[in-house]
Structure 1
Amino acid sequence: MRKYLKSIISILVCTLLFNGFLFGIQIPVYADSLNSQFVENNIYSGFNLKSKRYIEDIQSTLMEFNHIKSGAKLYYLQNKDNNKRFSISFKTPPTDNTGVNHIIEHSVLCGSKKYPVKDPFLLMKKQSLQTFLNAMTAADYTTYPVASKNEKDLENLMSVYLDAVFYPNIYSNPKIFKQEGWHYELESPESEIEINGIVYSEMKGAYSSPYRLLFNEITKSLYPDTIYKYESGGNPDEIPNLTYEKFIDTHKKYYVPSNSCIFLYGNLDIEKELKFIDKNYLSKFDKKEVDTSIKKQNPLAKRKVKIGYYPIPKDSDIKDKTYLSLNYAINNISDEDSIGMSILSDLLTGSDYSPLKKALKENNIGLDSGAMYDPSYMHPTFSILVENANEQDKEKFEKIVDDTLRKVIKEGFDEQSKNKLESIFNSYELVKRAVTNSNFKGQVYEMLVVNSWLYDQNPIKQLQLDSKFKTFKGKIDEKYFENLIQKYLLNNNHSSLVVLKPKQGLEEENIAKLKNKLSEYKSKLSKEEIDNLVKETQELKKWQETPDSKEAIATVPTLSLSDLNTKVDKIPTVEKSKNGIKILSHSLFTNGIDYTKMYFDTSKVPQDKLLYLSLLSYVLGDMDTDKSDYMELEDKMDRYIGGISFDATTFRKYNSDKYEPRMVVDIVSLNDKLPYAFEILDEIINHTKFTNKEHLREIIQMQRADFENNISNAGMGIAISRAGAYISDEGKYNDYLNNIDFYKFICDLDDNFDRKYDEIVKNLDYVNKLVFNKENLIVSYTGDEKGYLKFEELFNDFSNKIKDEKYSTQIYKFDDNSNDEGFIIPSKVQYIAKVGKMESDFKEIGKLMVLKNILDNDYLWQEVRVKGGAYGGGVSIRSNSVMFVSWEDPNLKETLNIFDKSVDYLKNFNADEREMTNFIIGTFASLDTPADPDAKAAMADSMYISETPQEELQKIREEVLSTTAQDIRNYGSILEKMLKESYNCVVGAEEQIQKNKDIFDNIKKIVEN
């Protein structure tokens, strides 16, 4: 569960952030004097300013408004952040598993009264400067957030979203419901009936994930009498039960201003925005009572046991593949205890020496374990999770958990646990500083405010953060956490034991059931009903294929070229040298964090040891050293720094097929903890011992389990990686190290571990020695100038500890037999990649970016998503290759044909000057994507290693600006040549792959048993 536990830790961090566990940091760009003329209880454009409060902790002023006529709530979080945000949210408690709120979320963005085009969302996506544009359905609410650094652009986005939610075209056009939700599809009277729809396909993909199914079972077990037992996204088996009438009635009920919360953020002309929202939208509505109350779950009298199933291939072994979870409903909890429970989850299972994790491991319950506190809904939950276990261990699992919790209460947390608490504070300090210096802090604050509105909490209290943190420093000595265990876990009968079991061939069984059900449905239809269904299918496709009129498109707001920032913001990079090692210094404000990266040359590793290079990146930092066992090492990393990661990757040379393989060592630490970072890195790269046999075995088993457990979610990554291997040596190298070959390698090591143990240790030692060497080493530091002086002093000492040997550079040769491959996984949908190499490199990268915008957001969106029913499709264009992809796609050959027909689309591309301007504007959004200091430095490092001049960035901007419709048409012939010698990789359902076996040279199952 290592990779999964990392995601749990991320959720935990976010949980604490969203519940006020941030620290007060003085951010100099903010000021509290903005719009000081606003006075409480005054009326501004129909809005009553209910309260106004400056919040020192986040250096912002929160204004709470009530719209008098409509009853809408509006919050404005005011500061000088130029990444401005807007969102509108609605309480949308579901009443069944049809996913009605999810389908509404998709559908309202398909045209509205003021913007009568089929997809204004798509138009804004391809022609605005948005830095964030999305819509999301949660368990009990739906939200529509956007962001932009350009205020005019934000106003355009606001207008599109407000018109979409209040005046959508769904009332006059049922085809929107069919397209976005679901519909029966019948091409001819003789064809088989199928079900299609974008949300339907999306959720078919989601329901292949055991983690999704596990958490569904948890909420159903704990809250059987509440809305939380329902899948708000929609269960694909039940989505077809949703009627158009229920769809419309649900929108009528929930999408009214009285049931909404509007959030504005950043450096805005708030008077202007209030006037716009009132005049154009809210003033048209009166207050309306909306029942969005959520029934509370009566406590369960005793622990409930619930069994669920997830699919695995029909010939797979089910041993050690069950998920076990003990879950507790946490009711009537205070804000302080809510934070305490988040910390408790990490204290109990956050490391191998944590009491609960240690006990489960010693008793051989599963391969890995973790705990998670989730306060994101009205009913918080606390779950203890184990994966790669067996059903027969469920009673033993319960007993170990209960006994361990009682032991902790009786004996208290030990010294290691106290160190873990210090580690938690260190981690949150880093996260807090990173968030407050990031471009997405507005999103964090938005979630805090919206969540407080959802559950009738005080948003000001949620944003006042310092005092909450300070109360926890000494609590581990006050038996505070032991009392939490007693109160919310051991004395809590409102709990469940969920067992999620693998079921061989379940996916195939479900597919067959659906096929039989549809066949039976068709057999009962009259000839007239069949003809009507064929007609409806044709009419839907005709509507989808009919382009919007130029008059309709012209209603959608856009910018002009004069609104663009045509000059690139250069990333400060100064090349220096210390002890013969190149150092790249990036002087950026980092809010007290040091970002250090080291790029070690890995070209000395022999080809037959490359898979050990990949394994090395996983085991480093998780093995014993000469100075510490692996648990002590983990404790030091957690307490003193933000972690050290190792990644074997490549950097492609500018305008060349050549690539440079590197091991990237990434270190994050607070300024005053940088000395510890160098001490710990020295310990890892120079003193690691690979001889802890049982722990090494465990790491290998976890790597195998991670791949197998996440395979249903990793289909797109597998397809992209494999397809990349068909066309370049760099692609072959990366695919070999990180994809199916590495998985097979890990399986072999796991199956033959005892026999191969000495060989594994020897090879890891050998590869480690080759990698961590001074030759060709490049080091990068990001921080302020004062921080660099300290860094240089520390690095001078550290560099003397790096070996300085000479090794021969290796030449790697991989199999050149490129194939069209189909890989079978337990899935209801496909992940498709089609790739080809250009005869010569493209020189004008900027024009390619415009081409990508056009293909992604015009052609592929329309053909693959809208008409094909896939959740998404896109294209990746490099200077010498093109890769088309689709994901959560119900089709296979049909989508490959769409990729091929892109040639005709480009050759016949016809856009007037205004349309080309819009495509250029949308492309600029990708050029100006907000990035934190670490991401900026990583980009500058990549350009340096790949020998890409920073002047190229300005050149790209100019190329984007100069792109014409003729340029796009010219790419049609180039793409045509590429597609004639292209290759396909499909990861997906066995039925679809076997049905289309004629297009594959090889068909394989990734997991054989």
Structure 2
Amino acid sequence: MRKNVFFLLLALLATISSCGPQDKYVSGEQYHGFTLVEKRFVEEVNAECYLFKHDKSGAQLLKIAADDPNKLFNIAFKTAPQTDYGTPHIMEHSVLNGSKNFPVKSPFDVLMKGSLNTFLNAMTGSDITTYPVASMNEKDYFNLMHVYLDAVLNPLIYEDPRILKQEGWHHEMESVDGDVIYKGVVYNEMKGSFSSPRRELGYQMSKLLFPDNTYGVSSGGYPSEIPKLTNEYFINFHKKFYHPGNSYILLYGDADLDKELEFIDAEYLANYDLPKEKIEIPLQKPFDAMKEAEKSYPVPDGAPTEDQTFLNLAFVVGQSTDRTLAMTFDIISEALVNNESAPLRLALQEAGIGKDVSAYFGEDKQCSFQITVQNANPEDKDTFKDIVFKTLQAVVDSGFDKSMVEGIINRTEFSLKEGNTPQKGLMYLMQSYQPWFFANDPFLGLEFNKPLSDVKKALTTNLLEDAISTHIMNNNHSALLVLKPEEGLQAKLDEATKKELEEYKKQLSEEEKEQLVAETKELIEYQKREDSPEALATIPMLELSDISPDIQWYEVDEKKVSDINVIHHNTFTNNILYSYLYFDLRTLPQELIPYSELLTNLLGKLNTENYSYGDLDTEMNIHTGGFNTYTTSYLESHNDDQLLPKFAVYGKSTAEKAGKLYALTNEVLQHSKFDDKERLKELITRHQSRVDSRIKNNGINYALTRLRSYYSNSGMFSELTGGIEYYDFITDLSDNFDDKSDEIIANLEKTASFIFSKDNLIAAITCDDKDFSSYSEGLALLSSELPSNETPLNQWAFDFDKKNEGLKTASKVQYVVKGYNFKKLGYEYDGKLKVLNQILSRDWLQNQVRVIGGAYGGFCGFSNSGNVYFASYRDPNLKETIENYDKTPGFIETFDADSTAMTRFIIGTIANMDEPMTPSQKGNEAIRNYFEKNTPEELKAERTAVLSTTKEDIKEMKKMVEDILDQDAIFVYGNENKVQENADLFGNVISITE
């Protein structure tokens, strides 16, 4: 009897211990003003989930009680703009510029300076404005929640119109005789965004598909329309959409739910009653027939216009609340277009329509399926349309290749179940909000197993083919858009804006001109003004005592598998192997460096001895979670003279599939057919098209890479494998393929033979120790196939040249960079530089370049290798920004921060050092530590330096920064007219069209 009682007690204790604090919640009961609507364990997120409704305000709240220290708070609003003014986007910026309880100019920037956040941002979508923050420190987490709730519900925009002027737009005139210009952070951000032809394409297509509802306007703002936004319209937008009754609050992680509910209710929601209006987004009425339109986008004068047109065919398909339909069209996008052997891709290639094609399924209340061809011509429109519908009919009649579909579904399932992001809360936010908004059911988006199970029926039924027939072939709610290049269009648009502003000035009386000058000066003074200590004290912050002195250290064990050196990071990965093969690129002669990058873009897409490229793609999808090759580099001991360039082969699979992963890897490395000229030409043409698109859409990265190539080995390597030099290289190969094909093939074969040898290989693996044996068996298989070839390492000798170039583009804005390497000037790295970087980026440059200058961003970087950069992002200025950089030593000389301000800067610096990581990211960090010869003692010393940084330490860095800037190394990616106007600043003015 006693024995039975003993086991009964044990069972009871086990039951009690297994019940977390969240288990006290019962559906239908009220907790701190919230009624629990539903409690559900969601297998896909491995957590109990609680859906609440706040009785007084009408706010909805979902808690995902995951055992994750990286806690996330998010409040989202359903926002439905009716104009292209960009009101939701400007509102997103503006509410973070001071609130009732935190009356500083920008609580967001103060938090960025000094919080332990792991994520801090706000985002605007076509029907959502959302405010997520995350932290692994609970005190910090509640501080962030407090500031964000106050920002969205009690912003200072009602009493301070200068916020709209700064963040949105305003007229600026510095003297009565001067010109009037438009200025504003979002105004310039969107000028930068719409410098991308693809952004213009998306905007024009949305206007075609949704002429009568919110999806037909730009929530971000169309540059020419933003200046139509008035303060009255702006304020009314907040009143309508930012009521808590239109809010959706997501809480994720291991914070105490009771404490969260109590705080949110008592501090905020209890102060509101139910809203008078429910926000609805009406459906766009279907069309009777497909619409067609032709629009233009700007290219510089003299730029080629042939093969530069976009063709876009789009269909409105169902609603986002139908999760099976959404996943079905994700699969169709891959099977029909994006896969290497997808039928529409092959049909367009054969017809010579464009250089690349892609498909995309966009989820809003009404979804759209879009097929886009780039690098085509306007006269291709009818042929394009004809080929699409003929291919669709052939697919409906004959069906998709089931093996290909199986591979695509397998890769989709692998990705969904892996969830390889440290920001799980943010991922679940993005998965849940559409069904939450429009079906009142966030679980629909989280529970992916059911639609996944439904989609798997495509392997035995005509699910995909029927969806195409129903939603594409017999769907008139569609549009065909031609977006063609137009030389000089940007100059015309700029001239139209100039005339518009001249007309505006003409209408002003002398008194009004003086008033505008006064307002300009007053706004600049407001932007320069420091927040008072009393205002800053309202922003909650941690103490240095809240910061752990411990570092995050990840290391590898060195092992040997079949004569291959292996570095292993042992961690739990849920049975997944994250595999890397690192081949030393110094086996290559210097002239073949660009060919290594080209090789990374060909491998896995070519026919091999045993597979067609389509079958290879299918096999990879069926048996792996991903396969990729790329070039990268490390600096041993952070020394730029000790460059370690690598050709990386990355693959991931379950442990059980290790043998197949390495068999396929060997097939790619050893048996790819470079001499298939037709296929090679297709791939190089497509690759050039993608590089061309990247260089037109990613100005900041190309600017920074080019700048570093002036003075560093690592920068020159990056330039040759991914910068303007590489663009020129791949464009030459594409344009002259027929004449150079034999040379290209010979160089690719030579490059591969130099690289792929077991003697030139270090393998790296991130997996649980129990899965290492499966990995070893697979790697041993690869080792038995790889040749042994001891090739000596070359000593590359790069020629450095401070070219100081200005790159003329069709961009509406600039990316202005300046920098150098301080080690070349005799200085050494110190961890305190991390704090200097935080101060300059979050205080000095943020204020001078963004707030006052109107750019979307201004920041800098100091690396332990010595490389330093100052950079602006989507900047309306050029010369003025360089002048601001040059004033930095003066700022440092007069830098004055009390202990509270220094603590804030130090905490913000630590936040950038202590980021959450997935198992694969931890493995990557361990690999980096190995190659760079980092030590825990070195990282500990760096952290100690950061935590002990003083105001005096910062001031002592003035001379080093001055010496860096005195080197006058600059690069500007910008508007063709703006660059030409400032030609005297450059050693050379260049164009990617030359």
Tell me the TM-score range normalised by the shorter chain: over 0.9
Report the equivalent of 1:721: 705
Report the equivalent of 1:22: none
Distance 2:799 2:216 in 1: 51
Distance 2:275 2:408 in 1: 46
- Of the candidates 952, 969, 987, which is equivalent to residue 1001 of structure 1? 987
Report the equivalent of 2:505: 522
- Of the candidates 733, 747, 753, which is equivalent to residue 769 of structure 1? 753
Task: Report the CA distance between 1:733 and its aligned residue.
Answer: 2.3
Give 3-state SS (helix, strand or coil) of 2:307's partner: coil
Q: Where in structure 2 are there 5+ consecutive unaligned residues?
A: 1-16
The answer to whether the Cα contact below 8 Å between 2:552 and 2:914 also exists between their aligned partners in 1 is: no
Give 3-state SS (helix, strand or coil) of 2:959's partner: helix
Distance 2:690 2:858 in 1: 26
Distance 1:981 1:340 in 2: 56
Report the equivalent of 2:225: 238
Distance 1:736 1:56 in 2: 47
Distance 1:894 1:746 in 2: 35
Report the equivalent of 2:831: 846
- Of the candidates 461, 466, 470, which is equivalent to residue 478 of structure 1? 461
Deviations 1:403-444 (A, max 9, x none): 22222222222xxx2111211222123212331x64222212
Counterpart amino acid of residue 742 in structure 2: D
Report the equivalent of 1:808: 792
Report the equivalent of 1:26: none
Report the equivalent of 1:387: 374
Task: Report the CA distance between 1:962 and its aligned residue.
Answer: 1.2
Distance 1:408 1:280 in 2: 58
Give 3-state SS (helix, strand or coil) of 1:977's partner: helix
> Is 2:876 the partner of 1:890?
yes
Report the equivalent of 1:787: 771
Matches within 5 A, 1:821-860: 821-838=805-822, 839=824, 843=828, 845-860=830-845
Counterpart amino acid of residue 857 in structure 2: G
Matches within 5 A, 1:121-132: 121-132=108-119
Report the equivalent of 2:660: 676
- Of the candidates 528, 537, 549, which is equivalent to residue 532 of structure 2? 549
Task: Report the CA distance between 1:633 and its aligned residue.
Answer: 2.0
Report the equivalent of 1:403: 390
> Is 2:432 the partner of 1:449?
yes
Distance 1:794 1:448 in 2: 35
Deviations 1:708-756 (A, max 9, x none): 2233311101100000011212212221222111111222222222221
- Of the candidates 666, 671, 675, which is equivalent to residue 687 of structure 1? 671
- Of the candidates 533, 539, 564, which is equivalent to residue 516 of structure 2? 533
- Of the candidates 144, 147, 150, which is equivalent to residue 157 of structure 1? 144
Distance 2:165 2:519 in 1: 10
> Is 2:939 the partner of 1:956?
no
Distance 1:927 1:842 in 2: 23
Give 3-state SS (helix, strand or coil) of 1:800's partner: helix
- Of the candidates 44, 51, 60, which is equivalent to residue 38 of structure 2? 51
Identity score, percent: 39
Distance 1:307 1:655 in 2: 52
Report the equivalent of 2:8: none
Report the equivalent of 1:626: 609
Report the equivalent of 1:491: 474
The answer to whether the Cα contact below 8 Å between 1:822 and 1:1002 also exists between their aligned partners in 2 is: yes
Counterpart amino acid of residue 769 in structure 2: E
- Of the candidates 901, 912, 918, which is equivalent to residue 932 of structure 1? 918
Report the equivalent of 1:424: 408
Counterpart amino acid of residue 905 in structure 1: F
Pick which of 877-886 and 803-812 moved more: 803-812
Pick which of 510-519 and 986-995 moved more: 510-519
Deviations 1:130-151 (A, max 9, x none): 0111111111121111111111
Decide whether aligned partners of structure 1 residues 34 and 357 sit closer, same or farther in structure 2, where only a CA change above 3 A counts: farther
The answer to whether the Cα contact below 8 Å between 1:682 and 1:798 also exists between their aligned partners in 2 is: yes
Deviations 1:656-688 (A, max 9, x none): 232122111111122222111111111121122
- Of the candidates 521, 541, 545, which is equivalent to residue 558 of structure 1? 541
Matches within 5 A, 1:955-994: 955-994=941-980
Distance 1:472 1:737 in 2: 40
- Of the candidates 144, 147, 153, which is equivalent to residue 166 of structure 1? 153
Counterpart amino acid of residue 335 in structure 1: R
Give 3-state SS (helix, strand or coil) of 1:474's partner: helix
Report the equivalent of 1:86: 73
Distance 1:960 1:842 in 2: 18
Decide whether aligned partners of structure 1 residues 655 and 141 sit closer, same or farther in structure 2, where only a CA change above 3 A counts: closer
Deviations 1:798-857 (A, max 9, x none): 223222223332222233321211001101100111012225565554211111111111
The answer to whether the Cα contact below 8 Å between 1:906 and 1:971 also exists between their aligned partners in 2 is: yes
The answer to whether the Cα contact below 8 Å between 1:596 and 1:667 also exists between their aligned partners in 2 is: yes
> Is 2:248 the partner of 1:261?
yes
Pick which of 55-64 and 914-923 moved more: 55-64
Report the equivalent of 1:873: 858
The answer to whether the Cα contact below 8 Å between 1:716 and 1:831 also exists between their aligned partners in 2 is: yes
RMSD, matched Cα = 1.7
Report the equivalent of 2:56: 69
Distance 1:862 1:317 in 2: 39
- Of the candidates 690, 694, 697, which is equivalent to residue 710 of structure 1? 694
Deviations 1:448-483 (A, max 9, x none): 333222113322333333333223323333222221
Task: Report the CA distance between 1:776 and its aligned residue.
Answer: 4.4
Counterpart amino acid of residue 328 in structure 2: G
Report the equivalent of 2:889: 903
Distance 1:660 1:465 in 2: 42
> Is 2:932 the partner of 1:946?
yes
Pick which of 253-262 and 534-543 moved more: 253-262
Aligned residues: 974
Give 3-state SS (helix, strand or coil) of 2:706's partner: helix
- Of the candidates 292, 305, 317, which is equivalent to residue 318 of structure 1? 305
- Of the candidates 857, 861, 864, which is equivalent to residue 849 of structure 2? 864
Decide whether aligned partners of structure 1 residues 787 and 964 sit closer, same or farther in structure 2, where only a CA change above 3 A counts: same
Matches within 5 A, 1:592-607: 592-607=575-590
- Of the candidates 903, 907, 910, which is equivalent to residue 921 of structure 1? 907
Report the equivalent of 2:341: 353
Counterpart amino acid of residue 346 in structure 1: E
- Of the candidates 146, 149, 165, which is equivalent to residue 178 of structure 1? 165
Distance 1:672 1:320 in 2: 46
Task: Report the CA distance between 1:81 and its aligned residue.
Answer: 1.3
Alignment TM-score, normalising by the size of structure 2: 0.96
The answer to whether the Cα contact below 8 Å between 1:156 and 1:558 also exists between their aligned partners in 2 is: yes
Report the equivalent of 2:781: 797
The answer to whether the Cα contact below 8 Å between 2:356 and 2:689 also exists between their aligned partners in 1 is: no
Report the equivalent of 2:11: none
The answer to whether the Cα contact below 8 Å between 1:226 and 1:297 also exists between their aligned partners in 2 is: yes
Task: Report the CA distance between 1:638 and its aligned residue.
Answer: 2.0
Give 3-state SS (helix, strand or coil) of 1:451's partner: helix
The answer to whether the Cα contact below 8 Å between 1:32 and 1:61 also exists between their aligned partners in 2 is: no
Counterpart amino acid of residue 983 in structure 1: A
Pick which of 804-813 and 307-316 moved more: 804-813
Report the equivalent of 1:120: 107
Counterpart amino acid of residue 88 in structure 1: I
Decide whether aligned partners of structure 1 residues 776 and 967 sit closer, same or farther in structure 2, where only a CA change above 3 A counts: farther
Counterpart amino acid of residue 337 in structure 2: T
Counterpart amino acid of residue 871 in structure 1: Y
The answer to whether the Cα contact below 8 Å between 2:186 and 2:856 also exists between their aligned partners in 1 is: yes
Report the equivalent of 2:359: 371
Report the equivalent of 1:27: none
The answer to whether the Cα contact below 8 Å between 2:435 and 2:444 also exists between their aligned partners in 1 is: no
The answer to whether the Cα contact below 8 Å between 1:823 and 1:987 also exists between their aligned partners in 2 is: yes
Give 3-state SS (helix, strand or coil) of 2:586's partner: coil
- Of the candidates 118, 123, 129, which is equivalent to residue 136 of structure 1? 123
Task: Report the CA distance between 1:794 and its aligned residue.
Answer: 2.3
Distance 1:650 1:975 in 2: 26
Report the equivalent of 2:728: 744
Q: Where in structure 1 are there 5+ consecutive unaligned residues?
A: 1-29
